Structure formats: structure tokens, C-alpha cells
């Protein structure tokens, strides 16, 4: 196998929590014999916690090393990729049997070679009904899928993980592998042997807390007692169980789906409490294990109810885990502290977030670069080198594209001078000559791979006349296609002071406004320097967010002193735009209007942004981090000196 095919790649697979519909998965399976039953329907969600691994293809062997949640590293497991051996290993039921079971399936169905999986970190609590075994099986299936470029869908990963797990003595449900969809809510249906999967798009942020009740539950007994009511009801009690896991469950799950998609946390919390009441009324009478005193004590605790919209049991129920929908982030922190102190219950957080709504980014790089003349006579200024904190030399444009991708952009358009296209295309898409690739150290080989991945997201839009930043943005109108988009200057770099990149902070602020208000990244600047930059003023809408009242391009000091002062923490200060914008597509008609009145001259973004502010409002987010200019000689020199320092 060629060296390129053996690149190391990272995987993360979360666990999953069943939010609604527990037990209806196997109940729906009984439709094999009784078609009068309702299909099962559940909603589950990938957890914030999960398993992290570095993987790569290797010759003829399955090599796995696991790290447990407490940091213990298990001895490395090695087996030849031989079907009978792997199947026998799966049946033995030891720690690595899941890996052997999935590897056997992948070998049998796809004829794969070996794989090395270093599960170097696990943050998922085990044996808490979060399907850590299913997460591990999905991890192994996906490692083969990626290492051999099989192009399998998530559904196929799920199937491989399921078949691998049931090749071991352990028994798992059919919904456990739903974690393969990642940290998003998923609705699954169960009709006999058929499974349907629908990923859901959350319409808001839900703050969940899952607490370990530290009680005991006998899952085998719960399953035994409930299964006795299937496939045909023999008594009124059986009929009540079927009703609860059938029609009632369907009603509740479909309502939950609606509330998740609408982002209604309060109503979803109330629905959780209702689901628990329905569960208790119908199922508790047939199974003592479901009396769950610890679960009910926690749900009924008056202190708890102050912080939550509602809650219910998790998994097979009993005294395993409880889940709550909290009123907000701070309420969740308070609840977790209370449950720990009062009941000794360890907790973990689970977030259901609205997916980032910005999918596209525009980066204009077609400017003349007069301030960097004569260098720009030789090469476009965005191809100037900068060294990262990791000691890697990259051209400015690569770092800007990486910033856009870090904010969630799946596609990126570079507005370029037509004569530069070949050069950009060659850099991002031209690959690396095999003889060069072989000589690169592994870290730079990975850089080469990452660069090729970036290249797949790029589109080039030519700007034939340098008619300004606003004109370059306008040229991207058709490509943007009526969606909100991220706009980045082509010659600015960013270093965030938090885990989220600077562009991501702006994109998420935009999203928090429900996509209703465009957002510009801003930073505090000295009065003596603001004549070089777009400057804003406004009223504080939140600790870090200004509702903008003015946007002025390169104001004179006097004008700024009179109109652009903002008071912050008791001081009078000034804020400038940092070159990151999350914009609604309504900016385009305003740029068009600017184009009509420009008489063939330059079209500036700032004028259109000020018009946008007047029409629908614009927010300024004080980002947490710094920016670096590379478009002016002395600032570029400063950037080169400082950017490589963490
Ligand atoms: P600048 O204002 O920095 O202009 O553009 P410039 O041409 O790059 O540099 P100077 O002022 O001549 O030295 C801001 C961003 O908009 C792009 C630039 O490439 C830069 O990324 N731009 C500017 C265009 O794409 N087209 C234009 O007509 C003007």
C-alpha cells in the first residue's frame, strides 16, 4: 500500500442518551409476529463526551489500544486479520471482543486489510446506559471505513457496529449505534427488522444534565417483565404496556421532535415530565424495578424543580440515570452542584445546539496590494509566508481559509484577480509530487493531506477590475445564493483567546440572534489609529455585544471623539472592525445600490453595512482574541515576528 494511503486520521465518536421512547425499539421489533402493534420510535442524542482515536491503515493486523475514562491505558491488542480467528475472538467476550467482532464483519463484507486504532482518550462514563460499547464499535467500523476509503454511509457504519457487537456474547439494542450521527438529535423508528433514521435539526439550544442516580437497576428483569406483554396482550395490563410503548409513545416522540426542531426548551422539559408520568402509570404496575425510588425523589425534589423545565429517567429506566432539561447554563451548573452535594450524584452535561447556520465563506483577495508594492508586483500578498505556533510555514491565504473552516464554513469562495487563479489552484489543489511527499516528515505529510482537503472546499470567482472590497463581495452574490455567509478579509489573521476561533465566535453570535442580525467582529483600538480602520459605536446589548448605531470608514480623530466614543467598564473607548463579518444576504441589494451610485468607481462595504444597520440592525461582537494585519509592510513585519508565538 502506498505511503499516502497510510496517513493517520483522527476520529471522535460520542456516546448517546435516549431522550424519548425507551423500550419502544424492541417493542417495535415484535411487529415481526404481530403487525397490529405500533412501530417503535425513539429520539436520542450524541453526548458531549465520547471516544477519541488516532487511526491508520496497516498490513494484515488489527491493532487496538484503549484508554479508559479514568486514564488507564489497556494493553495493546493485536490479532491477524483472519476471519475465523476474529470471529472466535469476538465470541470469547473479553475487553477487545467488540473490536474483533467489527473487524470480522468488515473483513467479511468489504475485504479490508489491517488497521491501527489508538483510542488515546475517553471521556464517556461507562456502564451508565450511554452505549459506550456501541460507541467503541462505531469507532472501529469508521476506522476501517476511513482507512480504506470505503465511502460507507453513516447507516452502513451503524450496521457494521451492530453486527460486530452481536457477534460477541454481549446483547445490545438496535438504537445504541445512533451515536454514529455525532452530537445531534436523531429520531429512529423500529418496524420489525426495519430501522429508519432521521437526523433532526435543533431549532435552539437545550441545556441537558444527566445525573447518575447511584442506585441499582436490574435491566434483565425490567426487559423480562415488559416483554411478557408482547407480542399478543393476554390481559388489560398487557394492553396498557402495549399502549404505552405504542400509540402513547408515538404521540410523545412526534411532539418531542416538533419541540426540538422549534427550539422550545420549556415545552420539551414539560413533555419529559409528562412522558415519565405516562411511563409510570402504565409500566410501573408490571415491574417493581420501575418504582425507582431514587429517580422519583430527584424528579420531585422542590429545589431541583426550580432549575429545570422537566426531566425523566434514562435508558431502561429504574434507578440508573436521570436527565433534566435545565432553564439555562447557570441553572445547570447550580443543579449539578446541588445533586452532587445532596445526593452524591455525579453529573455530566449534554448540549443540543442549533447547527451552525453559516455554511459558506467569501474571502476577497483580488486587491491591488499597493501598500505592499513592489512585492505585490512579484507575487500576490496573500501568498506571503507566516510561521504558525506549531512551527509550520504557511501562506497567509491558507490561514485565512482555515479560519473560515474553523467557523463551520463548508464551502469557501476566493474572489481573485483572474491571472492569479492558476497559482492559487496549484497551491490548494495541485497535490504534492510523490518524491517530495516521501521526503516530508510525518507531521508535514499530514499538513499536505489537510491542504488537499481545504482545496476541495474552494471556488474561485474572478474580479476583472479592482473596484473595491464591496465590489468583490458583490461578485460572490450568485455563489452565496441567498444564504447567510461569513466574510473575511484576505490579509488578516486571527488568534483566539478561547477554544472557539475568532471567526467561530462571530458565526455563533450570528446564530444566537436567530440569524436575524448581521454581526461584525470588533476590537478596542487607540484613538490615534482609528483613522486607518472601519470604526463603530453603539449601545451595549450584552456584556460583549454592541447594537451598532454608527459605522464609519476611516474616521478623522475629531469626528471619532464627537460621535464614536463608547463607554466600557467606566472608560471612554473606541471600537474598530476586525475583518470578520457574519452577514445576512440582504447586504447584496445594498451593495447593488452602492454600485449604481458609484458611477463605475470603487464600491465600499462599509457604506452598505451602514445601510444594512439602518434597515435591520447590525451587532458588533467584541471578540476574544487578537488579529494580525499582513497588508502593510511594517504591520506584516510585526505579524511575522509575533504570530509564531503562542
Ligand atoms: P484592502 O483595502 O486591503 O486593499 O482590501 P488591497 O488592494 O488589498 O491593498 P492596498 O490598499 O492596495 O494596499 C481588503 C480586502 O479586499 C480585497 C483585498 O484583496 C483584501 O483582501 N479586495 C480589495 C478585492 O478583492 N478587490 C478589490 O477591488 C479591493
Domains and CATH numbers, the chain: 3-198 (3.30.230.10), 206-229+246-352 (3.30.70.890), 360-642 (3.90.550.10)
- Give me 465's grid cell: 477590475
What's the CA-to-centroid distance between 475 and ligand 1, angstroms? 14
Pairwise CA distance, residues 428 & 418, whole Å: 16
Return the bridge partners of 191, or none: 194
Give pLDDT, residue 129. 65
User: Going by CA atoms, what residue is nearest to atom 21 of ligand 1?
Assistant: 490
Helix (H) or strand (E) holding 250: helix 249-262
What's the CA-to-centroid distance between 417 and ligand 1, angstroms? 11
Terminal alpha carbon distance of the chain: 38
User: Going by CA atoms, what residue is nearest to atom 1 of ligand 1?
Assistant: 367
Q: Other CB atoms closer than 10 Å to residue 478's CB: what's the count? A: 10
Chain center to CA of 335: 25
Return the bridge partners of 194, or none: 191
Q: Which residues of 45-55 are buried (b: 16+ CB within 10 A; e: fewer)?
A: bbbebbbbbbb
β-strand 411-416 against 185-191: which pairing, if any? unpaired
Pairwise CA distance, residues 192 & 541, whole Å: 53
What's the CA-to-centroid distance between 357 and ligand 1, angstroms? 27
User: Going by CA atoms, what residue is nearest to atom 3 of ligand 1?
Assistant: 631
Q: Is the pTM of this model over 0.85?
A: no
Cis, bond preceding 392 (omega within 30 deg of 0): no
pLDDT along the chain (646 residues), means of 10: 61 91 94 96 91 93 94 95 97 94 98 96 76 90 92 89 90 80 90 90 92 86 92 96 97 98 96 98 94 96 97 88 95 97 93 82 97 95 95 97 94 96 96 94 91 93 96 96 94 92 94 86 96 95 94 95 94 97 97 91 94 96 96 97 91
Return the bridge partners of 360, or none: 411, 485
Atom of ligand 1 nearest to the CA of 363: 21
Pairwise CA distance, residues 61 & 146, whole Å: 16
Return the bridge partners of 212, or none: 321
Over 181-232, what HEC string results? HCCCEEEEEEECCEEEEEECCCCCCEEEEEEECCCCCCHHHHHHHHHCCCCC
Q: What is the largest CA-CA distance in the chain?
A: 90
Pairwise CA distance, residues 448 & 173, whole Å: 41
Give pLDDT, residue 127. 65
What's the CA-to-centroid distance between 609 and ligand 1, angstroms? 17
User: Going by CA atoms, what residue is nearest to atom 22 of ligand 1?
Assistant: 367
Give pLDDT, residue 324. 98
- Give me 235's grid cell: 390481559
User: Going by CA atoms, what residue is nearest to atom 15 of ligand 1?
Assistant: 489
Atom of ligand 1 nearest to the CA of 368: 7
User: Going by CA atoms, what residue is nearest to atom 18 of ligand 1?
Assistant: 367
Residue reference for cell 464499535: 137
The CA radius of gyration of the chain, in Å to the nearest whole number, is 28
Give pLDDT, residue 307. 97
Residues with CB under 6 A from ligand 1: 364-372, 415, 463, 466-469, 471-472, 489-491, 631
Is 348 exposed, middle or buried, given 0-12, 13-18 or 19+ CB atoms closer than 10 A? buried
Give pLDDT, residue 187. 96
What's the CA-to-centroid distance between 517 and ligand 1, angstroms? 26
Pairwise CA distance, residues 189 & 51, whole Å: 26
Cβ contact 436:1 at 8 Å: no
Pairwise CA distance, residues 492 & 455, whole Å: 20
Atom of ligand 1 nearest to the CA of 415: 25
Give pLDDT, residue 616. 95
Cα–Cα distance list, 412 to 37, 495, 587, 638 (Å): 49, 20, 18, 28
What's the CA-to-centroid distance between 478 and ligand 1, angstroms? 21
Sequence-separated (6 or more) residues with CB below 8 Å from residue 530 = 554, 555, 557, 560, 564, 574, 576
What's the CA-to-centroid distance between 371 and ligand 1, angstroms? 10
Atom of ligand 1 nearest to the CA of 373: 13
Atom of ligand 1 nearest to the CA of 365: 19
Atom of ligand 1 nearest to the CA of 367: 7
Helix/strand/coil for 464: coil
Give pLDDT, residue 193. 87
Atom of ligand 1 nearest to the CA of 468: 28
What's the CA-to-centroid distance between 574 and ligand 1, angstroms? 24
What's the CA-to-centroid distance between 644 and ligand 1, angstroms? 25
User: Going by CA atoms, what residue is nearest to atom 10 of ligand 1?
Assistant: 369
Q: Within 13 Å of residue 22, how many CA atoms lie on the same side as its CB?
A: 29
Atom of ligand 1 nearest to the CA of 371: 13
User: Going by CA atoms, what residue is nearest to atom 4 of ligand 1?
Assistant: 367
Give pLDDT, residue 3. 37
What's the CA-to-centroid distance between 489 and ligand 1, angstroms? 8
Q: Choose one of 367, 414, 424, 602 to mutate for the ligand 1 pocket test, by most ligand atoms within 8 angstroms of C-beta.
A: 367
Report the candidate in 123, 124, 145 with the shortest Cα–Cα distance to residue 55.
145
Give pLDDT, residue 5. 56
Amino acid at each position: 500500500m502506498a505511503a499516502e494511503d497510510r496517513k493517520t486520521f483522527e476520529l471522535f465518536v460520542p456516546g448517546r442518551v435516549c431522550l424519548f421512547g425507551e423500550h419502544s425499539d424492541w417493542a417495535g421489533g415484535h411487529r415481526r409476529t404481530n403487525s397490529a402493534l405500533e412501530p417503535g420510535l425513539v429520539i436520542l442524542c450524541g453526548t458531549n463526551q465520547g471516544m477519541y482515536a488516532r487511526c491508520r491503515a496497516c498490513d494484515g493486523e488489527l491493532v487496538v489500544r484503549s484508554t479508559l475514562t479514568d486514564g488507564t491505558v489497556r494493553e495493546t491488542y493485536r490479532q491477524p486479520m483472519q476471519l475465523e480467528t476474529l470471529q472466535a475472538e469476538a465470541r470469547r467476550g473479553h475487553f477487545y471482543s467488540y473490536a474483533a467482532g467489527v473487524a470480522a464483519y468488515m473483513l467479511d463484507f468489504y475485504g479490508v486489510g489491517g488497521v491501527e486504532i489508538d483510542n488515546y482518550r475517553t471521556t464517556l462514563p461507562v456502564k451508565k446506559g450511554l452505549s459506550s460499547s456501541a460507541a467503541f464499535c462505531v469507532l472501529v467500523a469508521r476506522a476501517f471505513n476511513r482507512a480504506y476509503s470505503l465511502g460507507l454511509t453513516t447507516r452502513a457504519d451503524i450496521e457494521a457496529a451492530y453486527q460486530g457487537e452481536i457477534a460477541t456474547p454481549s446483547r445490545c439494542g438496535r438504537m445504541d449505534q445512533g451515536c454514529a450521527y455525532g452530537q445531534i438529535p436523531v429520531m429512529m423508528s423500529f418496524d420489525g427488522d426495519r430501522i429508519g433514521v432521521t437526523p433532526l435539526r435543533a431549532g435552539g439550544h437545550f441545556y441537558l444534565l444527566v445525573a447518575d442516580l447511584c442506585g441499582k437497576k436490574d435491566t434483565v428483569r425490567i426487559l423480562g417483565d415488559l416483554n411478557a406483554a408482547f407480542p399478543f396482550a393476554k390481559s388489560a395490563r398487557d394492553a396498557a404496556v402495549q399502549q404505552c410503548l405504542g400509540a402513547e409513545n408515538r404521540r410523545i416522540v412526534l411532539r418531542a421532535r416538533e419541540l426540538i426542531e422549534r427550539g422550545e426548551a420549556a415545552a420539551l422539559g414539560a413533555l419529559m415530565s409528562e412522558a415519565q408520568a405516562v411511563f409510570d402509570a402504565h409500566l410501573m404496575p408490571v415491574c417493581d424495578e420501575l418504582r425507582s425510588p431514587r429517580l422519583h425523589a430527584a424528579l420531585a425534589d422542590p429545589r431541583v424543580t426550580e432549575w429545570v423545565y422537566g426531566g425523566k429517567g434514562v435508558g431502561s429506566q429504574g434507578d440508573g440515570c436521570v436527565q433534566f432539561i435545565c432553564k439555562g447554563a447557570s441553572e445547570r451548573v447550580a443543579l449539578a452542584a446541588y445533586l452532587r452535594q445532596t445526593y452524591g450524584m455525579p453529573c455530566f452535561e449534554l448540549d443540543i445546539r442549533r447547527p451552525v447556520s453559516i455554511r459558506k465563506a467569501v474571502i476577497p483577495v483580488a486587491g491591488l496590494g499597493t501598500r505592499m508594492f513592489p512585492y505585490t508586483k512579484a507575487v500576490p500578498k496573500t501568498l506571503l509566508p507566516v510561521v504558525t505556533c506549531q512551527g509550520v510555514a504557511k501562506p497567509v491565504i491558507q490561514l485565512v481559509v482555515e479560519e473560515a473552516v474553523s467557523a463551520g464554513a463548508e464551502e469557501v469562495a476566493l474572489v481573485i484577480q483572474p491571472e492569479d487563479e492558476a497559482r492559487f489552484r496549484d497551491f490548494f489543489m495541485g497535490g504534492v509530487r510523490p518524491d517530495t511527499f516521501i521526503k516530508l516528515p510525518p507531521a508535514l505529510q499530514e499538513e499536505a493531506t489537510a491542504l488537499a482537503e481545504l482545496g476541495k472546499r474552494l471556488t474561485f470567482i474572478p474580479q476583472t477590475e479592482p473596484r473595491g472590497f464591496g465590489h468583490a463581495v458583490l461578485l460572490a452574490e450568485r455563489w452565496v445564493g441567498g444564504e447567510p455567509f461569513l466574510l473575511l478579509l484576505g490579509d488578516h489573521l486571527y488568534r483566539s483567546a478561547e477554544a472557539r476561533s475568532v471567526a467561530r465566535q462571530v458565526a455563533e453570535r450570528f446564530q444566537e440572534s436567530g440569524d436575524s442580525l448581521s454581526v461584525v467582529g470588533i476590537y478596542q483600538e487607540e484613538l490615534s489609529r482609528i483613522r486607518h480602520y472601519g470604526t463603530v459605536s453603539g449601545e451595549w446589548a450584552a456584556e460583549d455585544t454592541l447594537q451598532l448605531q454608527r459605522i464609519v470608514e476611516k474616521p478623522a480623530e475629531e469626528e471619532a471623539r464627537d460621535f464614536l466614543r463608547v463607554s466600557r467598564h467606566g472608560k471612554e473607548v473606541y471600537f474598530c472592525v476586525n475583518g470578520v463579518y457574519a452577514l445576512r444576504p440582504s447586504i447584496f441589494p445594498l451593495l447593488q445600490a452602492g454600485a449604481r451610485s458609484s458611477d463605475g468607481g470603487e464600491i465600499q462595504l462599509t457604506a452598505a453595512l451602514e445601510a444594512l444597520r439602518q434597515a435591520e440592525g447590525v451587532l458588533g461582537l467584541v471578540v476574544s482574541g487578537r488579529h494580525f494585519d499582513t497588508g502593510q509592510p511594517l504591520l506584516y513585519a510585526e505579524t511575522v515576528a509575533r504570530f509564531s508565538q503562542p
